Amino acid sequence: MSTSSVAQASGTFTLGGDLAVNRLGFGAMRITGPGVWGPPADRGECIRVLRRAVELGVNFIDTADSYGPFVSEELIREALHPYADDLVIATKAGLLRIGPDVWIPLGKPAYLRQEVEMSLRRLGVETIDLFQLHRIDPDYPVADQVGELHALQQEGKIRHIGLSEIDVDQLRAAQEVTAIASVQNMYNLTVRQSEPLLDVVTAEGIGFIPWFPLAAGPLAAADGPLQKIAADHHASPSQLALAWLLKRSPVILPIPGTSKVAHLEENVAAAEITLSDDEFETLASAGSPADS
């Protein structure tokens, strides 16, 4: 398999009915400083990571105005602009940053509009392919927050709209305002509270972007099931965790992130791993919370 097609082995998904992407993408949160604040320790390596991701066939990159803040979007432009025709860059707004590891929901419609305008400038695009509400702010009606994004969509500044960290009821409320192309919740082998939402979006063909996809905890121990199955595939536990996500649902778009080229290459290689049904069930059972 050629270098440029490694990520293609993960299969494709069409966001919003018209943006086809390879399912294994790249999450650009880690190309920033400690606490997702400020510039990365090794800017040059982060530029190399972004360029290598595209070389490996990754054509879906997920970022946010709050990563840095602004640092991640700026690095993406520096590394990849002018963008390849098939590259889809998703970004987000709705979290205010005032320091390392501090995230404050802010869904004021005027603020969301401002951040869309700023992301357009930082990324150097006329339209953002996928713009996600980073969190629903309880201080403003869902219809007002999503409605502002819908207005920007009608103006041609946003192509598709997504939501992050929501439940089924919130999805339904947003769908009363406009079409929703994707949702992004924490989800991995051991954190699966979003199963009801995943089932709904799988049925409706809405993309599901799991953040923190590699958490495996005890499953990755030397005598754990991940390690044993990984050995059979000559793979790492992290690669198995990604392969499990890809098999879990055809709408799942994992976005493992890193600031190191070697780690990126290992993650993307997970696209070439195919789990048997038995292996999938073994891992699913092992990763299930005790009370489920």
pLDDT number for residue 292: 39
Asked if pLDDT for residue 100 goes beyond 90, the answer is: yes
Confidence tier at 286 by pLDDT (50, 70, 90): confident
**φ, ψ of residue 286 in degrees (nearest 5):** -65, -30
CA dihedral 227, 228, 234, 236 (to 10 degrees): -10
Catalytic residues: 67
Q: Please, what is the average pLDDT of the chain?
A: 95
Q: Which of 103-112, 198-207, 228-237 has the lowest mean pLDDT?
A: 228-237
The domain defined by 3-287 carries CATH number 3.20.20.100: yes
Q: What is the pLDDT of residues 150-204, one digit of tens each?
A: 999 999 999 999 999 999 999 999 999 999 999 999 999 989 999 999 999 999 9
Cα three-residue angle 226-231-235, rounded to 5 degrees: 85
Average pLDDT of the residues in 239-262: 97
pTM: 0.96
Structure tokens at 274: 């195919």
What pLDDT is recorded for position 289? 64
What does the pLDDT read at residue 291? 41
CA 3 to CA 52: how far, in whole Å?
Answer: 10
Q: Look at the block and give the residue holding tokens 């929901």.
A: 105
pLDDT at 90: 98
Q: Considering only CA atoms, which of 288, 58, 49 is closest in space to residue 190?
A: 288
Domain boundaries, the chain: 3-287
What is the model's pLDDT at position 233?
A: 95
* Other residues' Cβ atoms within 10 Å of the Cβ of residue 136: 22
Mean pLDDT throughout 128-132? 98
**Nearest CA-CA partner of 185 in 173, 167, 158:** 167
